[in-house]
């Protein structure tokens, strides 16, 4: 997913991730420092570092090119290295307000550095070329450039550029949905920064790691890392860092349902961005505040924030993120009952969100458009949106679970490899000690052998413990980590295996918790998680041996009943309905209760997959929703008399 943010925020993060912030050694595009430099070189260097340190605002096209013109004029005549430094700075910040020609400029600059034999400059410029290729949607070519940049920097022991190339490749992988691999790149970059003692990067790279954990859904870890960035910004009294870090912490807290704390963070980030005179950053933070107000059920406040965001974006002279503005406008209009206006905004937002690969926003747009279409009597359109939402939610949930398990698996693999290498080293050392003892016939040979045996036992115990952890990890691949229900992949496998015989009976009960989004909006995601956990526990209590419950995604579940026909399925659905009504949620939130709607379908002759059966169960579930919810509907026929 390629997320769009304000131009100033992009420039801020690019500067933090791609430019060194301390000594002049290993500067991208600059040769090793010599003891004597000319006054002209010193003047250029000072201006270069002032730009690097954020001394000049770069929030508009005019501001950026005025600063770059000064830097170009300061290049000492015939100084190839500083000419390449200028090209690097131009490549990095010169296209924030318009990308036309960026790829050609970056590629030409990288080739110029190669021709000059300046590997430090070439490494940095190839990293910049990767950025522009990525922005143009050419992720494969961008990955090649990042790898070349990392190799060149590693050869020249330029820890800063090597780490930055890994960070950029990690971001590229996360944008493609491979969040676990992207996170591993960020962690590898952190090791490079620490090894090279690149102090600023060591602290600020935690920002990218926090974002990765947020996208994995590991919100506690994300909060832990972003708090360290906030502390770093406070220690430096750096309002640019604090504006970015508090904005990200606000997003994390919003995802955790901590709306008051999220708003406090975003308001403080707004103060810092205003103090620094960064209109694009102000616009982006206002956009986050609009999303927060919509989640809190305050649509008029959301519209006010959106208007303020638009004003700020206009001050930059560049285009605003219109799709995200339209999305939040559509949500606010839908909440206000202005459904025709909502449909206009959401209709404009959806194609652009699809093009950007912003799956979460696409899902949200479909859900709110379904509400507005239903309110206007367009049942067919509402059903289409709900089906699109359900399909995307299942894909998203399966992908998120896979990424979390993959991230944990990679961590296990690293620990297991380390253990294995340690064991081999210990075994080799033990063998050498035994050989020396045999040659010298020392009296303590027996003790040495005994020690080796004890060591082998310890290693065997450690290996056994790691093997057990691996088995638990493999079990997690088939289980939803929150509720303990099996996941979509596992239930698909079980259904296909059961129906492989050709004439086996099977019935499914598709379950969707009613108004679950309102639970999250009003009481927070922690309360929503408790509702899911208790609902699954209640349903497990009425299912019999051999009947399995799976979470398809979000608040949607399916009960699979091997050997059952449609009548038996209806009886199970009635038990599930009553169990849902009986759930006590008073300790989660005062007055909170929950109901569910059910769609029942039996496998027809020739059906071999879960998806074939779910299509009819989904249609029955939709009838239950449109008929008032808290009820059962049977696929391909009327509901039984006891379905109410």
Q: What CATH number does residue 306 fall under?
A: 1.25.40.10
Q: Structural domain tally of the chain?
A: 5
Query: Computed from CA positions of residues 377, 379, 384, 385, in that sequence, does the dihedral angle turn out positive or negative?
Result: positive
- Stretch 368-375: mean pLDDT, rounded? 90
Residue 131 reports pLDDT greater than 60: yes
Residue 444 reports pLDDT greater than 90: no
What is the structure's pLDDT at 379? Answer: 86
Q: What is the pTM of this model?
A: 0.53
What is the structure's pLDDT at 640? Answer: 44
| Domain assignment of residue 362, yes or no | yes
* Percent with pLDDT over 90 in the chain: 38
For residues 147 and 164, is the Cβ–Cβ distance under 8 A?
A: no
Which of 318-332, 407-421, 485-499 has maximum average pLDDT?
A: 318-332
Confidence class for position 70, pLDDT limits 50, 70, 90: very high
For residues 463 and 419, is the Cβ–Cβ distance under 8 A?
A: yes
Residue 620 reports pLDDT greater than 50: yes
Confidence class for position 409, pLDDT limits 50, 70, 90: very low
Residue 599 reports pLDDT greater than 50: yes
Residue 332 reports pLDDT greater than 50: yes
597: helix, strand or coil: strand
Using the 3D structure, point to which of 296, 314, 332 is the last residue of a domain. Answer: 314
Q: Is 572 exposed, middle or buried (0-12, 13-18, 19+ CB in 10 A)?
A: buried
Residue with tokens 């929150």, as numbered in its chain: 482
597 and 636 together in one domain: yes
Q: In angstroms, rounded to a whole number, what is the distance separating the alpha carbons of residues 16 and 400?
A: 29
- pLDDT tens digits for range 162-195: 888 898 888 888 777 777 778 888 888 888 888 8
504 and 472 together in one domain: no
Range of the domain at 268: 225-314
| Domain assignment of residue 133, yes or no | yes
Confidence class for position 61, pLDDT limits 50, 70, 90: confident
- Stretch 484-492: mean pLDDT, rounded? 87
What is the structure's pLDDT at 575? Answer: 94
309 and 325 together in one domain: no
Task: Extract the tokens encoding 241.
Answer: 């860092």
What is the structure's pLDDT at 210? Answer: 86
Residue with tokens 């979509």, as numbered in its chain: 488
- Stretch 369-396: mean pLDDT, rounded? 85
Confidence class for position 442, pLDDT limits 50, 70, 90: low
- Beta-strand ranges (E) seen in 196-301 are none
- Stretch 131-152: mean pLDDT, rounded? 88
310 and 335 together in one domain: no
Residue predicted with more confidence, 404 or 172: 172
407 and 494 together in one domain: no
Residue predicted with more confidence, 318 or 302: 302
Q: In angstroms, rounded to a whole number, what is the distance separating the alpha carbons of residues 56 and 66?
A: 10
Q: What CATH number should be reported for the domain holding residue 573?
A: 3.30.70.270
Confidence class for position 393, pLDDT limits 50, 70, 90: confident
- pLDDT tens digits for range 241-293: 899 999 999 999 998 889 999 999 999 999 999 998 889 899 999 999 999 99
Tell me how far CA of residue 570 lies from CA of 110, 255, 581, 633, in angstroms.
68, 37, 17, 9
528 and 440 together in one domain: no
| Domain assignment of residue 46, yes or no | yes
Confidence class for position 111, pLDDT limits 50, 70, 90: very high
Q: Is 76 left (phi over 0), alpha (psi -120 to 50) or beta?
A: beta
For residues 30 and 120, is the Cβ–Cβ distance under 8 A?
A: yes
Task: Indicate the average pLDDT of the chain.
Answer: 82
638 and 490 together in one domain: yes
309 and 332 together in one domain: no
Which of 42-46, 454-458, 464-468 has maximum average pLDDT?
A: 42-46
516 and 633 together in one domain: yes
136 and 244 together in one domain: no
Residue 240 reports pLDDT greater than 60: yes
What is the structure's pLDDT at 340? Answer: 95
Neighbours of 36 (CB within 10 A): 5
| Domain assignment of residue 217, yes or no | no
* Percent with pLDDT over 70 in the chain: 81
Strands 486-487 and 548-553: parallel
Task: Extract the tokens encoding 580.
Answer: 């849902």
What is the structure's pLDDT at 549? Answer: 96
- pLDDT tens digits for range 294-313: 998 899 999 999 999 999 98
| Domain assignment of residue 555, yes or no | yes
- pLDDT tens digits for range 7-47: 334 444 444 444 433 333 334 444 444 446 889 999 998 99
Task: Extract the tokens encoding 446.
Answer: 């027996």
| Domain assignment of residue 177, yes or no | no
Which of 258-272, 445-459, 482-496 has maximum average pLDDT?
A: 258-272
Alpha-carbon 595 to chain mean position: 31
| Domain assignment of residue 187, yes or no | no
Using the 3D structure, point to which of 427, 450, 477 is the last residue of a domain. Answer: 477
| Domain assignment of residue 434, yes or no | yes
Angle at 226 between CA 225 and CA 228, to 5 degrees: 70
360 and 433 together in one domain: no
102 and 249 together in one domain: no
Range scoring the smallest mean pLDDT among 77-86, 196-205, 413-422, 439-448 = 413-422
């Amino acid at each position: 997913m390629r997320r769009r943010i304000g131009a100033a925020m992009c420039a801020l993060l690019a500067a933090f991730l791609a430019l060194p912030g301390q000594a002049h050694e290993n500067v991208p595009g600059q040769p090793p420092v010599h003891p004597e430099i000319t006054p002209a070189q010193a003047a250029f260097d000072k201006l270069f570092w002032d730009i690097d340190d954020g001394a000049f605002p770069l929030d508009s096209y005019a501001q950026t090119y005025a600063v770059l013109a000064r830097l170009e004029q300061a290049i000492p005549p015939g100084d190839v290295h500083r000419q390449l430094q200028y090209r690097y700075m131009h490549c990095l910040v010169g296209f924030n307000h318009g990308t036309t020609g960026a790829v050609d400029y970056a590629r030409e600059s990288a080739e110029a550095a190669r021709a000059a034999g300046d590997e430090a400059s070439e490494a940095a410029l190839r990293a910049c070329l990767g950025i522009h290729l990525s922005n143009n949607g050419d992720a494969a070519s961008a990955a090649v450039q990042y790898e070349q940049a990392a190799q060149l920097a590693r050869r020249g022991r330029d820890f800063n550029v090597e780490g930055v190339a890994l960070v950029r490749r990690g971001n590229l992988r996360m944008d493609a949905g491979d969040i676990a691999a992207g996170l591993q790149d960020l962690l590898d970059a952190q090791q490079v920064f620490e090894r090279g003692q690149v102090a600023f990067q060591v602290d600020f790279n935690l920002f990218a790691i926090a974002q990765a954990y947020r996208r994995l859904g590991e919100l506690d870890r994300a909060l832990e890392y972003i708090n360290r960035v906030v502390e770093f910004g406070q220690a430096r009294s750096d309002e640019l860092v604090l504006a970015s870090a508090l904005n990200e912490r606000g997003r994390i807290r919003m995802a955790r349902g901590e709306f008051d704390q999220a708003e406090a963070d975003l308001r403080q980030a707004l103060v810092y961005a205003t103090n620094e005179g960064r209109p694009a950053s102000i616009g982006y933070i206002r956009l986050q505040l609009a999303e927060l107000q919509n989640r809190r059920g305050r649509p008029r406040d959301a519209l006010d924030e959106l208007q303020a965001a638009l004003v700020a974006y206009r001050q930059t002279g560049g285009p605003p993120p219109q799709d995200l503005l339209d999305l939040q406008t559509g949500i606010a209009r839908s909440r206000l009952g202005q459904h025709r206006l909502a449909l206009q905004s959401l209709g404009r937002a959806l194609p652009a969100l699809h093009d950007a690969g912003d799956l979460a926003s696409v899902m949200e747009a479909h859900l709110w458009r379904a509400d507005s279409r239903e309110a206007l009597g367009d049942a067919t359109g509402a059903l289409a949106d709900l089906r699109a939402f359900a399909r995307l939610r299942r894909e998203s949930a399966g992908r998120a679970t896979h990424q979390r398990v993959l991230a944990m698996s990679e961590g296990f693999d690293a620990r297991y490899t380390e253990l294995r290498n340690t064991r081999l080293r210990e075994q080799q050392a033990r063998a050498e000690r035994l050989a020396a003892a045999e040659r010298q016939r020392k009296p303590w040979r027996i003790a040495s052998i005994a020690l080796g045996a004890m060591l082998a036992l310890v290693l065997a115990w450690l290996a056994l413990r790691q093997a057990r952890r691996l088995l638990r990890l493999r079990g997690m691949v088939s289980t939803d980590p929150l509720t303990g229900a099996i996941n979509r992949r596992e239930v698909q496998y079980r259904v296909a295996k059961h129906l492989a015989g050709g004439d086996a009976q099977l019935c499914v009960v598709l379950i969707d918790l009613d108004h679950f989004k309102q639970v999250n909006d009003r009481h927070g995601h922690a309360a929503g998680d408790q509702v899911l956990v208790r609902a699954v526990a209640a349903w497990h209590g009425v299912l019999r041996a051999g009947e399995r419950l799976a979470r398809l995604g979000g608040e949607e579940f399916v009960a699979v009943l091997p050997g059952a026909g449609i009548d038996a399925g209806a009886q199970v659905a009635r038990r599930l309905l009553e169990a849902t009504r009986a759930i006590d949620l008073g300790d989660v939130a005062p007055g909170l209760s929950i109901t569910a709607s059910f769609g029942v379908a039996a496998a027809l002759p020739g059906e071999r997959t879960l998806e074939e059966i779910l299509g009819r169960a989904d249609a029955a579930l939709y009838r239950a929703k449109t008929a008032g919810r808290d009820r059962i509907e049977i696929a391909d026929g009327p509901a039984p008399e006891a379905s109410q």
